[in-house]
Amino acid sequence: MEPPVFIVAELKSENGQLLTVLSVTPKEFRTGSKGFYANQKAEIGGKRYQIQVQMVEIGSKKLAENEHA
């Protein structure tokens, strides 16, 4: 299966109310690992928050190191 172009992350309250939606896009991290990342600001309950979502593919750093060997 091909990796997705992006992932949609929905943040919801405990009662299911949609608070915000993030588009989590592919990223190659400085460490050499691969995954997905999003960073966004949102107002929730009258307060402002900075939100980050990070997904790192387990073992992707080792795969990248082996490709360069």
pTM: 0.81
For residues 32 and 65, give the distance between their C-alpha atoms in angstroms, rounded to a whole number: 8
Using DSSP's 3-state secondary structure scheme, residue 30 falls into coil
Handedness of CA 42, 16, 25, 68 (dihedral sign): positive
Residues 6-29: tens digit of each pLDDT: 999 999 999 999 999 999 999 999
Is residue 67 pLDDT above 80, yes or no? no
